[in-house]
Amino acid sequence: MKRKLFVRALLDKVWPAVMLLCLLGAGFVLSSILIAITSRGLRSLSWEMISTPPQRAFYLGGAGGILNAIAGSLCLALGATTIASLVAIPVVLYMHTYGKGKRQTLLIRLALDVMWGMPSIVYGAFVFTFIMAVGLRASLLAGMLTLVLVSLPILTRTFDEVALMVPTDLSESTLALGTTRTELAGMLLRQTVPGLLAGIFLAFARSIGDGASVLFTAGYTDSMPSSLLRPVASLPLAIFFQLSTPFPEVQARAHTAALVLTAIILLFGMLAYVVHAHLGRYIIR
């Protein structure tokens, strides 16, 4: 009896130590990445780098910057997240109204979970085959559509989980005040906005950071995005192309591109956090 208590007390001390160790490990990896990107990226970070597209001989160390990739990535990711949200909302509404508890809904969930795990290069190859078949070329539109496929399961499943957590008492309490259905929707939105934002941010971060899906579908160009039907540059591919050159100064620029990409994700993450902290204060848990 005594001995068992001793083992339990020991385990109670060992577990927190294991957890702390894991936390430190994760923290070490994350900070190493951040330090490496920042220290290397800062070397060639300049106003010119983020405010101009590549000039002549940029990939041999010439003048210019990566504005083409920054603008291209923002267009791709913001466009894809917006389109995917517009598709996800009716799907989630269906799952929670007409399809509630039905077989189709379970199948939709299963399909989305499989889609979530699918490597993005597969989506890229799929859309590439598709655009070839209809006679189109790599373009902003095709890249966006590929990223829609990547972010759709993320958005739909997070919205779905948020909707699952809405207490039924909330609808009843709101309707009992004599609200219309539109006002009820507004109230449900108040309760769910923080969760929805988290989903949107997750999808945005995944889309802007994904290189494989835009490799064949969006292409690459040194010019600024100008049309939905023309190729666009993107930050992940800017990193890839510059890192594969033999010139150290060009390789350093790849780290600048990585730094910019990380900064954009961080910025949007902070924005989501601020909105969450502001609106999430009132939600009923």
Partner 1 sequence: MIMNTLSILDLNVWYGNLQALKAITADIPPNKITAIIGPSGCGKSTLLKSLNRLLELVPDTRIAGQIKLNDFDIYSSAASVTEVRTHIGLLPQKPFPLPMSIYDNVAYPIRIHALLPRKGIPDKVEETLLAVGLWDEVKDRLRAPAFGLSVGQQQRLCLARALAVEPQVLLCDESTSALDPMSARTIEDLLIALKEEYTIVTVTHNLGQAERLADHVLFLWLGELLEQGPAVRVFQSPEHPLMAAYLAREFG
- Binding-site ranges for partner 1 (CB under 8 A): 167, 169-180, 183, 187, 190-191, 281-285
Question: How far is residue 100's CA from residue 51's CA, in Å, rounded to a whole number?
Answer: 50
Task: Please report how close the Cβ of residue 187 comes to partner 1 at its closest, in angstroms.
Answer: 6
Nearer to partner 1, 187 or 275 (CB): 187
Nearer to partner 1, 161 or 183 (CB): 183
Task: Please report how close the Cβ of residue 60 comes to partner 1 at its closest, in angstroms.
Answer: 57
Nearer to partner 1, 171 or 251 (CB): 171
Task: Please report how close the Cβ of residue 201 comes to partner 1 at its closest, in angstroms.
Answer: 20
Task: Please report how close the Cβ of residue 272 comes to partner 1 at its closest, in angstroms.
Answer: 18
Task: Please report how close the Cβ of residue 99 comes to partner 1 at its closest, in angstroms.
Answer: 13
Record the tokens describing residue 241, joined without a space. Answer: 């192309």
- Fill in the amino acid letter for 236: P
> DSSP labels for 12-57?
HHHHHHHHHHHHHHHHHHHHHHHHHHHHHHHHT--HHHHHS-B-TT
Nearer to partner 1, 56 or 278 (CB): 278
Task: Please report how close the Cβ of residue 106 comes to partner 1 at its closest, in angstroms.
Answer: 18
Question: How far is residue 271's CA from residue 266's CA, in Å, rounded to a whole number?
Answer: 9
> DSSP labels for 223-237?
SPP--TTS----HHH
Nearer to partner 1, 78 or 163 (CB): 163
CB 207 within 8 A of CB 81: yes
Query: Who contacts 237 (Cβ-Cβ below 8 Å, separation ≥6)?
Result: 69, 211, 214, 215, 220
Nearer to partner 1, 17 or 182 (CB): 182
Question: How far is residue 236's CA from residue 145's CA, in Å, rounded to a whole number?
Answer: 17
CB 97 within 8 A of CB 165: no
CB 256 within 8 A of CB 31: no
